[in-house]
Every structure is written in C-alpha cells, then in structure tokens.
Amino acid sequence: MEIVSLAQRQLDQATALSQAENWPHRLQDWQMLMTLSQGRAALRDGVVIGTALRTDYGPDVSLLNMIIVQRSERGQRIGYKLMSSLMDEVSGRELRLVATKAGIPLYEKLGFESEGEIFQCQGEIASVGLPDEEINPAKPDDTHAIIELDSRFLAADRSALVQWLAKHARLAVARGAQGEILGYAALRRFGKGHVIGPIQANSQRQAQNLVCYLAASLAEQFVRIDMDDGLGLMPWLGDLGLKCVDTVTRMRKNPQTNPRPAFGLCSQALG
Ligand SMILES: CC(C)(COP(=O)(O)OP(=O)(O)OC[C@H]1O[C@@H](n2cnc3c(N)ncnc32)[C@H](O)[C@@H]1OP(=O)(O)O)[C@@H](O)C(=O)NCCC(=O)NCCS
C-alpha cells in the first residue's frame, strides 16, 4: 500500500469509493472539492482504496474531508496514514471536520474533540412562500463583501470557495438600509439534486427568507440543507418536506477561533 497525491484522473475511482458508502457525490462534486483542496490516495496495485482531502481556509484553519477506506481494507491504519499525511503539512493550525459515526473513533485517536451535531435535512421541497423582506441576487461586485461576511461568521477565510460559488452557483443576499450585506445563501447542484448552503444569516427569519428566495423555482425537486444544531430551523424545513435523515458531528483539533453556528453548511465536507 502506498500513499500518493490524489490526481484528477483518479477521481472516477474516488467517486466509486464514495458511492459504495451511499454518499451522493457525483464526479463533478469531487472535481469541485479538488479545485479547492489537497488530496491523498491510498493505492494498492495502482488501484485507489482510500482517499482524504484537506481544504485550507486562510493561513490558520484547515478542513479535512472525504476520508474513505474501502470496506475490505479497513482496520489496517490506512485511514490514520491518509489523515496524518495531510495533517503533518499544517501542524499548528486549527483543524476542523464533520464526522460520521464510523469516523469518530479514528478522529478521536488523532486528537479531535466533538463540538456538536449537524442535521442533514433533505427531500422534495414543497412550494415555498414569498420572502417577507427584500432578498436580491448577488451582483458580481458583491463578492468581496460576501467573502468578508462569510469570514466573520465562519472565523476562517474561504475566499476561494466563495469565488467558486460566485461563478458556479446562485447567490442571494439580504441587505441593510445602507445596502450593506447582512446575510447570504447559495444554491448549487450537488448529489441527487440541489443544496442550499452556505446560509449565513443573523436571524432565523432572515435564513428562512433566503431559503424561500432560492427555492422559489425548485418546487417538487430534491433539495438538501445541512444545519448546525440549536438554530430552530428544523420544524420549518420539515413542513417544507426537508426531513432530518441523518446527524453527523462537528469536531475540531487545536481550536483557536470562535465560529458561529450556520443555518446552512456549504456541505459536510466544506463546513
Ligand atoms: C472511518 C474510516 C476511514 C477508518 O478507516 P480505517 O483505515 O479502517 O481506520 P484505521 O485502521 O486507520 O483506524 C485508526 C485507528 O482508529 C481506530 N478505529 C477506526 N475505526 C474504528 C471503529 N469503527 N471503531 C473503533 N475504533 C476504530 C482503530 O482502532 C485504529 O486504531 P489502532 O490502529 O490503534 O487500532 C473507515 O471506517 C471508512 O471509510 N468508513 C466509511 C466512510 C466514513 O464514514 N468515513 C468518515 C467520514 S467523516
């Protein structure tokens, strides 16, 4: 077994690994992650049997994601080696991840601690009402202000991700009286349908209005929102047809920042 850098040409094998776990990622979703991340592959006889990615958010924070070892290869420390290979390059940084139940024992061994639950809500969305405050599409010159707002909420700089979203997703913003951006949300294709996220808002009502605006054209289509525990949006999402189908756990190692809980994650991989 050898650990190498994950190459673009291996992403179809990576997609097959994640699909074997019933994860919804399409090849395009892996490609998006790879444009923003460093990747590792575990190879046996040239075949990808494990993956791990690290997404750096500015100089101080990194996320680890897409950690998968093929079922028949588990229990041989391959997951540990994939993670260590990515972590060794960024020692001293705050590391974040979102863990499945299968991943928690490995991450605890590596020094991560649990911080709270994330609810995965999804389904065919009903028709939504109109927002009761003005929500607008983001303009190209809003990108800088969205990056600034996102960094404040997340306590990490993910400008590369927001720039990707500005190009490939629909971005909606809530503005204050002076036109300043108070909250934003993104809608993009992902997995079985669409994801709404990130959703960065100052109140539950603002988050609902951003969702209503973006979901207006999606009635009866599959939509997913991953959200931090304790924000109160879940009953409302349930009424819209987005039921909680799974919970996963936020974990951190070497915490140095104070991020706010999110009404919508960009994805479990990207926080
Ligand atoms: C999580 C996963 C990547 C672990 O891969 P792995 O190669 O089997 O893990 P390792 O062999 O490197 O385990 C490292 C350590 O964690 C411990 N560990 C790993 N999984 C464990 C489990 N399910 N229960 C108890 N301990 C576990 C092992 O005991 C091992 O410690 P040891 O070597 O001192 O005994 C693998 O189970 C997997 O792909 N699961 C499905 C996909 C998934 O959910 N990934 C996590 C996404 S957040």
pLDDT above 70 coverage of the chain, percent: 100
Given a cut of 90, whether residue 230 has pLDDT beyond it is no
Q: Is residue 16 part of a domain?
A: yes
CATH number assigned to the domain comprising residue 39: 3.40.630.30
Residue where a domain stops, chosen among 52, 71, 91: 91
Does pTM surpass 0.85? yes
What is the Å distance from ligand 1's center to 14 Cα? 18
Average pLDDT value for the chain:
97
- 74 and 132 inside one domain: no
- 125 and 230 inside one domain: yes
Q: Is residue 111 part of a domain?
A: no
How many domains is the chain partitioned into structurally? Answer: 2
Q: Which ligand 1 atom is the nearest neighbour of the CA of 97?
A: 48
Determine if ligand 1 sits within 6 Å of the CB of residue 7: no
- Looking at residue 254, its pLDDT comes to 98
Residue identified by tokens 């047809």 is 241
- 69 and 177 inside one domain: no
What's the average model confidence in pLDDT over 134-156?
A: 98
Q: Is residue 195 part of a domain?
A: yes
Nearest protein CA to atom 27 of ligand 1, as residue: 105
Residue 82 lies in domain: 2-91
Q: Is the dihedral of CA 228, 234, 237, 241 positive or negative?
A: positive
Determine if ligand 1 sits within 6 Å of the CB of residue 109: yes
What single-letter amino acid sits at 91? S
Determine if ligand 1 sits within 6 Å of the CB of residue 248: no
- 14 and 70 inside one domain: yes
